[in-house]
């Protein structure tokens, strides 16, 4: 009889989190406390009330899923709050065995008249540094029983915004009143790409990547090509939300026009029926070539099971999620939460969903876990990354052997 993959084993192994939004991953007690202090009105001041009215188990669609961000972003407008939220997010990941975390957010949502993008990054890093250093100074790490924690920041540009979303977006909308909306969105993205380069290379912050988030339909990634060209030309890695709410062509554009090193979600990679361009005469062949290209180039796909089912209710069960096809095609895949608060999940819970509903094998689990570390935008040198991955593999294999899951 084969040894089952247990939740205890999954919690114990070193894991990555490569797709988690800071503003979607607050602790509810922290949200309530900060809202009271800052006089931000919430629909409820209890955890059960917020779970019922805002952060639900199921949403109607993506817009419904995104409503809660109005409340979380509202309490993330000062350095003290951002520092605390950053600290707690690293703590929460460490508690379930995650040892490498890439946190993404749009700093332009948190800037104010006297609160710059650089100061936003400083505040978040201050909290994350504190949590990381507490772990790395622990006896377990010092004696080699555990591995160190590392983190990186991914700055998110938005495909769409309006002047009501933040002080920064209000400013840029007002100084470009005669521009087409897509030109305004592109200008904000380019400015953020410039900030990412300076923060990483001049100021030394762990900004490891650049992202594009928001509604895909009607807001193509190609509109932001100048921003991604700037990031690419300055050696900043790129990950793009693509194939989450649109078809394979969105993924293709992210890779070809915007140089994506990784793909966020990629849910509709195999959905040939969603190919729209009349120039693509054989959609099935197009999807096959695209999947083979992604596999051969080791472009890692950041899969978020729970949030996918929450934002796309027509996908009726986890068993129908295309993660199984991705694994069968030997794609480089990592399993992520997307939003720990909004989706009420953890990395451990997401992996267990794959084990239970998609029949992930011990071999596949090992490949997925290692792919997360290998596909990371590690903030150190390549030599340091290789040494870290070796540590991870050694620890994983030791734990797997003890659990009866070794090869």
Q: Which residues are catalytic?
A: 244
Residue 355 structure tokens: 């084990």
Residue 61 structure tokens: 């669609």
Q: Which of 346, 349, 401 is nearest to 94 (CA)?
A: 346
The answer to whether the beta carbons of residues 192 and 121 sit under 8 Å apart is no
- What distance in Å separates the CA atoms of residue 22 and residue 72, rounded to the nearest whole number? 9
Host H or E run for residue 303: strand 300-303
Residue 13 structure tokens: 């192994």
Q: How many CA atoms lie within 13 A of 277 on its CB side?
A: 14
- Exposure string over 2-25, b if 16+ CB within 10 A, otherwise e: eeebeeebbbbbbbbbbbbbbbbb
- Eight-state DSSP code of residue 238: E
Q: Which residues, 6+ apart, have CB-to-CB distance to 111 below 8 Å?
A: 117, 119, 120, 166, 167, 168
- What distance in Å separates the CA atoms of residue 179 and residue 182, rounded to the nearest whole number? 8
**Please, which residues bridge with residue 229 across strands?**
none
The answer to whether the beta carbons of residues 296 and 44 sit under 8 Å apart is no
**Residue 195, phi then psi, degrees to nearest 5:** -65, -40
The distance from CA 97 to its chain's CA centroid, rounded to whole angstroms, is 17
Q: Which of 7, 80, 3, 113 is nearest to 354 (CA)?
A: 7
- CB atoms < 10 A from the CB of 150, how many? 22
- CB atoms < 10 A from the CB of 164, how many? 9
């Amino acid at each position: 009889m084969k040894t089952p993959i247990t939740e205890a084993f999954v919690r114990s192994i070193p894991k990555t989190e490569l797709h988690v939004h800071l503003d979607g991953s607050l602790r509810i007690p922290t949200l309530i406390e900060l809202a009271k202090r800052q006089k931000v009105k919430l629909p409820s001041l209890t955890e059960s009330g917020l779970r019922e009215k805002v952060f639900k188990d199921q949403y109607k669609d993506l817009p419904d899923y995104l409503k809660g961000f109005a409340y979380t972003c509202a309490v993330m407008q000062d350095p003290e709050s951002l520092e605390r939220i950053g600290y707690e997010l690293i703590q929460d990941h460490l508690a379930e065995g995650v040892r490498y975390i890439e946190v993404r957010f749009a700093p332009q949502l948190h800037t104010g008249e006297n609160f710059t993008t650089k100061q936003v990054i400083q505040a978040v890093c201050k909290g994350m540094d504190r949590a990381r250093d507490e772990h790395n100074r622990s006896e377990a790490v010092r004696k080699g029983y555990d591995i160190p924690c590392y983190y990186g920041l991914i700055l998110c540009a938005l495909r769409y915004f309006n002047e009501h979303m933040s002080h920064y977006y209000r400013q840029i909308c007002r100084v470009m009143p005669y521009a087409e909306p897509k030109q305004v969105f592109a200008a904000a993205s380019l400015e953020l790409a410039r900030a990412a380069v300076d923060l990483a290379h001049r100021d030394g912050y762990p900004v490891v990547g650049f992202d594009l988030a928001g509604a895909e339909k009607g807001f193509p990634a190609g509109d932001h090509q100048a921003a991604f060209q700037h990031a690419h030309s300055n050696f900043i890695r790129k990950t793009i939300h693509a194939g989450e709410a649109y078809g394979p062509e969105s993924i293709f554009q992210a890779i070809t026009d915007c140089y994506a090193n990784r793909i966020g979600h990629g849910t509709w990679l195999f959905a040939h029926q969603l190919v729209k361009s009349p120039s693509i005469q054989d959609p099935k062949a197009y999807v096959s070539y695209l999947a083979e290209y992604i596999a051969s180039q080791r472009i890692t796909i950041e899969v978020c099971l729970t949030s996918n089912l929450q934002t796309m209710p027509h996908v009726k069960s986890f068993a129908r999620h295309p993660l199984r096809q991705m694994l069968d095609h030997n794609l480089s895949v990592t399993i992520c939460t997307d939003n720990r608060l909004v989706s009420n999940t953890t990395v451990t819970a997401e992996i267990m969903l794959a084990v239970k509903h998609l029949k992930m094998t011990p071999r596949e689990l090992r490949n997925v876990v290692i792919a997360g570390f290998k596909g990371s935008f590690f903030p150190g040198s390549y030599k340091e990354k290789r040494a870290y991955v070796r540590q991870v593999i050694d620890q994983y294999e030791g734990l797997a052997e003890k659990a009866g899951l070794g090869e």
